[in-house]
Amino acid sequence: MAETKKLMRALAGETMDVPPAWMMRQAGRYLPEYKATRAEAGDFLSLCYTPDLAAEVTLQPIRRFAFDAAILFADILLVPDALGADLWFVTGEGPRLSTITDQAAFDALKPGDAIHDHLAPVYETVRILARELPSDVALIGFAGAPWTVATYMIAGRGTPDQGPAHDLKAQNRPLFDALMQRITEATIEYLSAQIDAGAETVKLFDSWAGSLKGQDFHDYALTPARTIIAALKARHPGVPVIAFPREAGDNYIGFAKATGADCVALDNSVSAEWAAEKVQVDGCVQGNLAPGHMVTGGQALVDEVKRIRAAFSKGPHIFNLGHGITPDADPDNVALMLESLRAPA
């Protein structure tokens, strides 16, 4: 059925009058039905690790909005959790982890291929979704890219500038490189297992790629993505990969060719017109409506949707936001976005 699904056709390079659409964080806190299921789970990690509930919240936006793809409900920090880092979530503040800042802490981590027992509930969620999704909806698996995951493992939390990770990179490059390698190995294993369970494509989220400059971007954003994608392609020929080096700026140019990615997701700090000229020439792109429009709505939302659709109309395109939808978004604006996208041009 894959060839009949709009998302898979776009990833294969097909240009469509109306592009397929989904949203980052489409299953989440802006939906009342998500809040109810989260309350049933008791806490965020329990929601991630309870397959029936994780599948339910993945399906909720598909039922409500008829998106062209569903993305597995999980979290990028499940990989460090599976590697043996302590992970917990503080209500209203976000994730906290035990820090990996010295050799002893690194040595206590598990090997990259020893994560599967811990992550078995996630794979079961994928199997449920593969059975229950409508036949025209594609299933996306995902993981955080090594740099982004490392920034949390080193700092123990999210930071404004990823300073702790940059500091470790400068002060103890061998340890930093070893951590990046361990995360890379685990990410290959994790995404491969998601594909085995039924994911039709996978996405690599490098949310903090923009803080890597010069050679560091090449070494710690581009090279790990290339390594992961090559390994996945060797194990799973024909399964497409979406890469999202957020806020890469000019480094978006050529990223698909350099890494082997089938699609490059774009944040909203670059214009659709620029990206069509510089990035889409190499293949499928995804994006890149500013998430704030899901809060404010109105004619500005309609106009932006039409502008982005027109800008990318000459090549393969997956419509999406430039980053995840925010908890204060209005579900009615999501419906308006899709209505505007799917209206005759």
| Residues assigned a catalytic role | 25, 29, 38, 75, 152
Helix/strand/coil (H/E/C) assignment for every residue in 290-306: CCCHHHHCHHHHHHHHH
- DSSP H helical ranges for the chain: 6-11, 32-41, 44-48, 51-65, 78-83, 103-107, 116-132, 146-155, 163-171, 173-197, 215-217, 223-235, 255-259, 272-278, 293-296, 298-311, 331-342
Angle at which helix 331-342 crosses helix 298-311, to 10 degrees, equals 40
d(CA 141, CA 198): 9
Token code pair at residue 214:
């010069």
How does DSSP classify residue 114?
S
Token code pair at residue 316:
């393969």
d(CA 142, CA 162): 22
SS3 content of the chain, % helix, strand, coil (to 5): 55, 15, 35
d(CA 181, CA 203): 19
